[in-house]
């Protein structure tokens, strides 16, 4: 074999090998999980139940959609999403179109929130049916599939919650989880599902984020679902039928997995990363909300970043973080915009952390755009 032919053969072999490896990696990422795999993953990845000062039934981030256009320019569909908290994750997931998503939270109750949502997505053929079930409101007779989110919620404004519908929907939710999927919910898990679903029934469309037991001036559920980015585009998961159905498909395929875990804990974040790596995936977006300042206040922030350093990421992987009043008070000279999401490249941030350049929560502000 002459040199040219040898070079050609080696090149072709290398390309074939590269394509084979890529195909194997893509093949390794599950397209869906069966019920046993889903529950086992939830169990294996989770840590012990923890506590937080607030109930967090609903997001308190009014402006969370502002980052979505930039996120869509950076994040490619088909990656793996990690997030924290309640329903705002659905909007991020719908907009970013990941292959799989993990919602991690220190409270097991938040996992039950997401299992409640999972059942409601599976039970509801469309957005109108979903809203009807979530709030136990009889469905209005005339609702177009092309209705905007505002029109959708306007149609329910004059509808009164129905106690019979509440009981029927709660029973259906528990049946989906424990009979259809055979998830091994404990008695406490069932009580948590009922507690959360009751909150939506009692609060109705006016339900808000509950801060230390008192209703403050937070956005209502309809306000969150009808908010927009700076160009007035609504990205919420209830903005269009397509957005809703994208989430419904993922839920039906068991591809949105709740996880109980402390960001600074020893297991959950690392275990998610290991699972993603084992299946040839990459974390494309990690929505942090404002968890990091709590970790700095508690002196455990290094534990989290040590775990983040083990995650499989690429050059486009991003943190999505939000600053609240605590950061504004801690870093007044930086004047961080409050309750507006900012982006930070994960690989660059980890490099800075490992160099010792991350010392206070103010360093989060300077590294977020």
**Helices 127-135 & 163-175 angle (0-180, nearest 10):** 110
- Tell me what pLDDT residue 24 has: 42
Instruction: Give the closest residue to 177 by CA, choosing from 218, 224, 120.
Output: 120
pLDDT for the residue numbered 142: 83
- Say which residues have a Cβ less than 8 Å from residue 306's Cβ, sequence separation at least 6: none
pLDDT mean values, one per 10 residues, the chain (369 residues): 44 42 53 97 95 83 93 96 96 97 96 98 97 97 90 95 98 98 98 97 90 65 95 97 98 98 97 97 97 95 98 98 90 88 97 97 95
Structure tokens at 288: 């942090």
| Both structure tokens of 191 | 């009580």
Q: Are 110 and 56 in contact (CB under 8 A)?
A: yes
Report the pLDDT value the prediction gives residue 20, as an integer from 0 to 100. Answer: 37
- pLDDT, residue 5, reads 45
For the chain, the domains span 31-366
**What confidence score (pLDDT) does residue 51 get?**
79
Q: How far is CA 116 from CA 104, 143, 174, in A?
A: 15, 24, 8
pLDDT of residue 52: 82
């Amino acid at each position: 074999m002459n040199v040219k032919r040898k070079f050609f053969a080696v090149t072709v072999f290398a390309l074939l090998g590269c394509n084979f490896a890529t195909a194997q990696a893509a093949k390794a990422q599950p397209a869906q999980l069966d019920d046993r795999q889903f529950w086992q993953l939830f169990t294996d990845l989770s840590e012990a139940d923890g506590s937080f000062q607030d109930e967090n039934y609903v997001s308190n981030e009014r402006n969370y959609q502002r980052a979505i256009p930039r996120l869509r320019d950076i994040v490619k569909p088909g990656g793996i999403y990690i997030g924290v908290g309640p329903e705002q994750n659905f909007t991020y997931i719908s907009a970013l179109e990941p292959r799989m998503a993990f919602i991690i939270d220190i409270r097991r109750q938040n996992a039950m929130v997401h299992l409640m949502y999972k059942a409601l997505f599976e039970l509801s053929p469309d957005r109108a049916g979903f809203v009807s079930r979530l709030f136990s409101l009889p469905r209005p007779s005339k609702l177009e599939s092309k209705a905007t989110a505002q029109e959708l919620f306007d149609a329910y404004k004059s509808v009164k919650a129905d106690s019979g519908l509440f009981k029927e929907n709660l029973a259906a939710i528990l049946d989906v989880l424990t009979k259809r999927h055979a998830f091994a919910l404990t008695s406490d898990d069932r009580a948590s599902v009922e507690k959360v679903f009751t909150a939506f029934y009692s609060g109705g469309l006016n339900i808000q984020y509950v801060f230390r037991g008192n209703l403050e001036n937070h956005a209502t559920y309809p306000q969150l679902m009808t908010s927009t980015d700076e160009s007035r585009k609504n990205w919420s998961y209830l903005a269009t039928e397509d957005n809703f159905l994208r989430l419904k498909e993922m839920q039906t395929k068991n591809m949105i997995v709740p996880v109980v875990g402390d960001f600074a804990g020893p297991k959950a974040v690392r275990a998610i990363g290991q699972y993603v790596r084992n299946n040839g995936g990459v974390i494309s977006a990690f929505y942090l909300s404002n968890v990091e300042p709590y970790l700095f206040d508690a002196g455990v922030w290094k534990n989290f970043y040590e775990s983040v350093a083990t995650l499989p990421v690429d050059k486009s992987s991003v943190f999505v973080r939000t600053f609240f009043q605590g950061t504004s008070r801690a870093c007044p000279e930086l004047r961080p915009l409050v309750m507006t999401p900012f982006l930070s490249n994960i690989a660059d941030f980890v490099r800075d952390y490992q160099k010792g350049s991350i010392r206070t929560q103010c360093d989060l502000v300077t590294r977020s755009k």
